[in-house]
Structure 1
Amino acid sequence: MTEELPLFPLQTVLFPGGLLSLKVFEARYLDLAGTCLREKRPFGVVALRKGQEVRRSGQDEPGAVVLEDVGVMAEILELDGAQPGILQLRCRGTRRFRIGRTRQRADGLWIGEVEILPDDEPIAPAEAVHETVRGLANAIASLKGKGVEPFEAPYRFDDAGWVANRWCEILPIPLAAKQRLMELPDARVRLALVDEFLRGQGVVK
């Protein structure tokens, strides 16, 4: 089954269960936010393989923007419109999707024909990566100590997919690597790769 989904291309990778703050000022995205709030519908966040999310002038040139094939739906949690012409959005990632055809409306908004991908099955982290699970708990405590709340509660340390996704969000790795990790259908494999990276960096022993 496929459906049409408005797309918000960004220089970032959203993960299911992740939080995303957006500053929206272009007309196409102001309209998108209003429609999604009014109709209680999600929009799709997709990483840019090439190009930029802000239109420079007129219609984007053909081939100037290339989107990744897999993105994540986002639902708006909070909206702040205190500044005229600017919206501050706080969003949460929900489900992954694969993009088939895309088209760009006259106002520049991308629309994708998407297929919803299966969610990670809830599965406990393997015993071999328990230090990586503990490492995430320590990282959260450290960030909280600095007044930063990076993730939405409840914290699901018993879920391999949740642990892997949260690590992927804060690791200093290239955008393309985050994209490939997000796309992996097996949560335990995703967490094992994160564990391997952390051990290689000496973060986990």
Structure 2
Amino acid sequence: MTQRPAPESTVRGAFGDLLPHLPLFPLGTVLFPGGLLPLKIFETRYLDLVTHCLRTGQPFGIVALQQGAEVRVAASGDETVRFEHAGCLAELIDCDSPQAGILQVRCRGLQRFTVSQIRQAPDGLWRADAVLQPADLAEPPKPEFQASVAALQRAIETLQGRDQVPFLTPYGLDDAGWVANRWCEILPIPLPTRHKLMMLPDPHARLQLVDGFLRRHGIVSD
């Protein structure tokens, strides 16, 4: 997978590329690099965020919720919200407005990051200083994982037959990180586990864990 250039506002530091004031979008899901994320936007804080990103081309950060709701449930905004201090950058790839005050958008996962100096604006939007993490190196899956690669290809063909397209093209079945990430997106695994897999820096280790899950559940075999 080709590594994209960092946003122009990125500051290069001793511990990685820093994105100051990155807007965050806490969700009850995990976005993986190269992943597809459809969103329905109707809250003012996120409508403003998406409008800004459409205008500037800048990404925002998706972080997995640990506690609280995606939508503000208290007018005072004082509900408790906790989320992971790491996530994945998202870029907007298309946007539609089916009715006034609602945006239907699709996002692509870019690069992983960790955050610090988290703060919340009066409008409820979270921001943080983010440090980008190294992207996966594009390396072929090891021979012992070829059964998992073949199973993913069959899963893609089955989903396409049902007019379901959960992955962005081009497909990267020759890329260990891509295969691991796509399995992580569709397997029924707990959200905290999914997050840990996303942040695992070694794509082969990630694929090994996925392969073990598939074998334990009889999805693949030698």
Structure 2 residue aligned with 1:187, among 178, 195, 203? 203
1:15 and 2:32 matched: yes
SS in 1 for 2:104: strand
What is residue 43 of structure 1 aligned with on the other side?
Answer: 60
Using the alignment, how far apart are the partners of 2:181 and 2:77 within structure 1? 32
Residue of structure 2 equivalent to 1:201: 217
SS at match of 1:123: coil
User: Which whole-Å CA distance do the structure 2 matches of 1:69 and 1:136 have between them?
Assistant: 30
Q: TM-score, normalised by structure 1?
A: 0.97
How many Å apart are 1:61 and its aligned residue?
Answer: 2.6
Cα displacement string for residues 31-63 of structure 1 (whole angstroms, at most 9, x for unaligned residues) = 00000000110011110011112111234337x
Query: Tell me, which stretches of 5 or more residues in structure 1 are unaligned?
Result: none
RMSD of aligned alpha carbons: 1.0
Partner of 2:179: 163
Partners in 1 of 2:102 and 2:129 — Cα distance?
A: 28
- 3-state DSSP of counterpart to 1:130: helix
**Secondary structure, in 3 states, of the residue corresponding to 2:98?**
coil
Cα drift, residue 141 of structure 1: 0.2
> Which residues of structure 2 form unaligned runs of 5+?
1-12
1:95-130 residue CA offsets vs partner (Å, 9 max, x unmatched):
111011210000000001110100001111111010
Which of 24, 43, 47 matches 1:26? 43
Matched with 1:143 is 159
Q: How many residue pairs were aligned?
A: 204
* 1:70 matches 2:86: yes
- Please point out which of 140, 145, 148 is paired with 1:124: 140
Cα separation, 2, equivalents of 1:38 and 1:174 = 35
TM-score, structure 2 normalization:
0.90
Q: Distance in 1 between matches of 2:38 and 2:84?
A: 20
Runs of 4+ aligned residues of structure 1 deviating over 6 Å after TM superposition are none
